Structure 1
Amino acid sequence: MSNHALADRLTFMRLGPDAQNALRASQETILRALPEALDSFYEQVRATPETRAFFSDESHISSARSRQIGHWQAIAGGRFDSDFMAAVTKVGETHARIGLEPRWYIGGYALLLEHLLGELIEAHWPKGGLLSRARSAEGLKAQAGAIAKAVMLDMDLAISVYLEAAEAARQKAEAEVLRVERARVVKTVGEAMAALSRGDLTHDMPDDMPEEYSQLRADYQAAVDSLGGALQAIRAATDTMAGGAEEITSASHDLSRRTEQQAASLTETVATVGQIVAAVRQSADNAKQAAEAASTARSDAERSGEIMGQAISAMQRIETSSTQIGQIIGVIDEIAFQTNLLALNAGVEAARAGDAGRGFAVVAQEVRALAQRSAEAAKEIKGLIAGSSSEVEHGARLVKDTGAALHSIVERVGHIDGLIAGIASAARDQSENLDQVNGMVGQMDQTTQHNAAMAEESNAAAASLQSQSKELSRLVAYFRILEQTGRAGRALSSGSDARRLQSHLALAVAR
């Protein structure tokens, strides 16, 4: 307690210089009465078990009595200074330390005040009978008031120090209890957290935790239960995910293998289609050349038909000329026959004429011979012309048949030319279509190659997912959890449990 507090009390009690002077005026009386008053007080202390317990023996009482006399000497002298404050503080702290309740201290002051005031009154009481002169009542009043104020001041200060010391001791005791309790709670929570750090979710906080930490225990258990349930769900999901990842990996591997096979097949298909395109393009070129050759053959056949027509016409003209020659030969044959008759008649006439007609007979004979030779020649020519006519007729018939055949050939070559032109056009269209097919197959090949790369990447990703799921399973397997979580009275969500656990931990640390 500070000297400022003492000054405030002195001011409020009006224990100023005048009162202190009055106190000094009663000093002799106080010190004279003090030994008897202290003897009476300590006699009462000895007689009371509650107060006797605070003293170990008579020397202890004697020591306390000596300190009381010294203290009252300072009070009676009105010395309310720092030494007085130190003495009062020591008394109050001692009482607080030994546990002396204020009621015993107040009771002791009542006994002391009784003797002091009695001695003061007796000292001021008139002596020597009615004729003796009494001391001033005002002086008695002032001294009694000063003594009462000094006693109350000393008692106030001692009890205030006692209360402060007791409060400090109480706070210290509570702090110690709280420290021990908090150490216990921290140890319990530390063990729980250590178990949690080891992944052991089966660890329970003890039931004998302090009442104010019961909610912390409940929140911890609820949080552990919620975490255990979540880990069970994660474990189940991880197992499912691991199985799915394995299936995905297998399927992805199969897809990658099939895609690679498909890509290889498409590559071969591209090569084959390229060869087919080249063959069809060559066939289109050949068909085009065949169409050109067929067109040329058609033109040649048409010209041959025209020539054959001209030959037929010529043969017809030859046949007509042969007929006319035959007719002419017939006329010559008739002329030879008539000449022969004339020569015969001339010979007859020459024979009749005799020698005169001998020369004429010779001429007639020569003419007759000439007519015979002419008739024979005409006959031979006629035979030849008849044979030639037959041959010409046969040749004309053959030429006509040949012309008909050539006409049919021309028609067939024209039809073949149309077919070959159609084939060439179709081959050209097929070549263009196959070029497009080849381009599309090439794009399919590129797409398949890209898909194969993506399938390979998917396979790698699936393998990574499988590895990560195994790692997650390994991490989840680190925790020891109950097969069935959810104890009675733990229905809080994991988020609220964690927040409440955090708040309780913060409160425990703060306390």
Structure 2
Amino acid sequence: MSAQNQLDQRMSFMRFDHKDRAALRAAKPVIDAEINGALDAFYAQVRAFPETRKMFSSDAHISNAQGRQASHWRRLATAEYGVDYQGDVARIGKAHAVIGLEPRWYIGGYALVAEKLIRAMVEKRAKGLFANAKNDADLADGLVALNKAVMLDMDLAISTYLELLQDERDQLEAERASAEQRQADAVRAVGDALSRLAAGDLSARVDGALSPEFVSLKSDFDQAAAALAEAMGAVDRATRGIRSGADEIASAADDLAMRSEQQAATLEQTAAAVEQLTSTVAKTAQSAREVSSRVGEAATEAQRSGAVVTRAAEAMSQIESSSNQVNHILGVIDEIAFQTNLLALNAGVEAARAGDAGKGFAVVAQEVRALAQRSAEAAKEIKSLISDSSRQVGEGVELVRQTGDALRGIVDKVGAIDSLVNEIAASANEQASALTEVNSAVGQLDQVTQRNTAMAQRSTDATRALRAEAADLANHVGGFRIGSTAPAQRYAEPEHPVHAARAKVAAFARPGR
């Protein structure tokens, strides 16, 4: 149905016939005269409400709209509703749709303008200004015609507004359907790629071309998948590195545990040896103290012996002096014996001269001479004995002197030995004290080594757990396909060769080894 036919149908339905159109043309002078004032009141109301004021950018915009509205109302009053009128109404409806003027404000505007026009027509009728109005029926016809014209114009404008809205809705619906189809295509393509990705294929990409609004989604997905593949590759490489590092750490930890156990065993033996050495040094110190005491006693005895030897030397010197005196006396006796012998010899000579009278005296002289000879011989023998005794006493004195010198040397050496023994005893005491501290330090070191051994064992256990976790992670990563490469190799936990050596170390660390 054409636009004109639709307009005729509307006018027919509301019985807007030639009579109403004639009545409207009769009221045109009033409408032409009052329309500007009515529009002034309407746009004043538009300015008063923020909801309608914001639809106009400026007062000039409002003035322009008011001028077009005045022209439209004057054309409406002609009751000529042809192509020009319909185009004018369509433009108004489109303008309202463009600025977002909702029907409630548009209808309110018709009410305000119609109010002014109706009042003006009534007031004009009261003043008799309707030249061809013979009665109130003419006024009623004019008001009815104005009402129908306003309703028709409002219907056409709102219909245009609604048609534009419907066109927009249809366009939006078509765009929505198209967007849904494009979205469905994009979702299907992305879903296929996600399915492949969920299956572990990290080389999955969104296949085919997507609509422009989903190009960024395709690009983001492909980049995310590539980044995920790269990250998973890095995880795989890192897992291999972790496993390799864990193997090295495990080997080092096992070696550390083995060495710690060896060190613990060595420290245990060292502790026992140091303890035994400490006991031995303590005994040595005690023995050195006893030796020092004995040496002190020997030094005292040697000093006493030196004093005795000194007194013996003095006594021997006195004996030697006495022997010299005796030897001198013997010399006197020998001289006396010699003189006595001479006297006896002279007496014998004189007795011989005396004859018989001197025989008795001769016998006495002979006896005296014999006694003098025996005295001389005895003195000679005594002198010889005294000489031997003096010689032996001299040798004794020399021996006593040498003995005294030797005893003094012995005393000096015993003193030196006593000093050395005291130093040895002090050193032994210091060594015993130092060895006690060493023994304590070795004991603490043994405890630390035991703790280190336990920590090394825990480190070994943690490293084994890390290796197991790395192997498990590698197996999980192995389920993904990265690019064109095959799935990563799955790992199995190997038996480390160091583990067998730990039994030997434990056997080595046992007592009695």
TM more than 0.5: yes
AA aligned opposite 1:276: L
Aligned to 2:238: 237
**How do 1:458-469 and structure 2 match up within 5 A?**
458-469=459-470
Tell me the residue number matched to 1:478.
Answer: 479
Aligned residue for 2:22? none
* AA matched with 2:311: Q
2:287 match: secondary structure? helix
Task: Kindly report which structure 2 residues correspond to 1:433-444, keeping only aligned pairs within 5 A, or say none.
Answer: 433-444=434-445
Contact 2:202 2:480 in 1 (8 A): yes
Tell me which residue corresponds to 2:422.
421
Q: Deviation per CA, 1:1-58: give whole Å up to 9, x if none.
A: xxxxxxxxxxxx999xxxxxxxxxxxxxxxxxxxxxxxxxxxxxxxxxxxxxxxxxxx
Distance 2:211 2:401 in 1: 138
* 2:447 equivalent to 1:449: no
Distance in 1 (CA, whole Å) between partners of 2:484 and 2:291 is 88
What is the CA-CA distance between 1:240 and the residue it aligns to? 2.0
Deviation at 1:471, TM superposition (A): 1.8
Give, in whole Å, the separation in 2 of the partners of 1:416 and 1:483: 93
Q: Which residue of 2 aligns with 1:227?
A: 228
Residue 350 of structure 1: CA displacement? 4.6
Match of 2:384 in 1: 383
Listed one character per residue, the Cα deviations across residues 147-176 of structure 1 (whole Å, up to 9, x for unaligned) are: x99xx9xx99xx99x999999999999998
Aligned CA-pair RMSD: 4.7
Partner of 2:403: 402
Alignment-mate amino acid for residue 469 of structure 1: A
1:322 match: 323
Q: Is the 8 A contact 2:200 2:480 kept in 1?
A: yes
| Deviations, residues 445-488 of structure 1 (Å, cap 9, x unaligned) | 3333333333322222222222222222222222222169xxxx
Give the partner amino acid of 1:275: Q
Matches within 5 A, 1:134-145: none
AA in 2 matched with 1:445: D
Query: Which position in structure 2 is the counterpart of 1:254?
Result: 255
Within 5 Å, which residues of 2 pair with 1:58-207?
Answer: 188-207=189-208
1:196–1:317 distance in 2 versus 1, CA, 3 Å? same
SS in 1 for 2:334: helix
Alignment of 1:309-388 (within 5 A): 309-353=310-354, 357-388=358-389
1:283 alignment partner in structure 2:
284
Deviation at 1:324?
A: 0.6
Match status 1:265 vs 2:276: no
1:420-469 superposed Cα distances (whole Å, 9 cap, x missing partner): 33333333333333333444343333333333333322222222222222
Tell me whether 213-222 or 165-174 shows the greater mean CA deviation: 165-174
Matched residues, percent identical? 46
Q: Is the 8 A contact 2:320 2:394 kept in 1?
A: yes
Distance 2:205 2:335 in 1: 160
Residue identity matched to 1:298: A
Distance 1:433 1:165 in 2: 108
Q: What amino acid is the match of 1:242?
A: R
- Show CA shifts across 1:269-297 (max 9, x none): 33333333333333333333333333333
Instruction: State how far apart, in whole Å, the 2-side matches of 1:182 and 1:212 are.
Output: 9
Cα deviation digits, residues 87-142 of structure 1 (max 9, x gap): xxxxxxxxxxxxxxxxxxxxxxxxxxxxxxxxxxxxxxxxxxxxxxxxxx99xx99
For 1:278-319, what per-residue CA distance to the aligned partner results, in whole angstroms no more than 9, with x for missing partners?
333333333333333333333322222222121111111111
Amino acid at match of 1:205: V
Relative distance call for 1:310 and 1:483 in structure 2 (3 A) is farther
Distance 1:483 1:410 in 2: 103
Structure 1 residue 306 corresponds to structure 2 residue 307: yes
- Name the SS for the 2:335 alignment partner: helix
Count residues with an aligned counterpart.
Answer: 355
**Amino acid in structure 2 at the alignment position of 1:399:** V
Give the Cα–Cα distance (whole angstroms) in 2 for the partners of residues 165 and 301 of structure 1. Answer: 143
TM-score, length-normalised on structure 1?
0.56
Contact 2:182 2:210 in 1 (8 A): no
Matching residue of 2:133: none
* Aligned-partner residue type, residue 447 of structure 1: V
Q: Is the 8 A contact 2:203 2:484 kept in 1?
A: no
* Secondary structure of the corresponding residue to residue 480 of structure 2: coil
For 2:450, give the aligned amino acid: Q
- Do the aligned partners of residues 267 and 322 (structure 1) sit closer, same or farther apart at CA in structure 2, a change above 3 Å counting? same
**Structure 1: 5+ residue stretches without partners:** 1-12, 16-136, 485-511
Q: Which has the higher contact order (CA 8 A, sep 6+)?
A: 1
Q: Secondary structure at the match of 1:281?
A: helix
What residue identity is the alignment partner of 2:261?
Answer: E
Shift of 1:212: 4.7
Q: What's 2:71 paired with?
A: none
Q: Which runs of 5+ in 2 are unaligned?
A: 1-12, 16-136, 486-513
Query: Aligned equivalents of 2:177 and 2:484: distance in 1?
Result: 42
For residue 481 of structure 2, what is the amino acid of its counterpart?
Answer: R
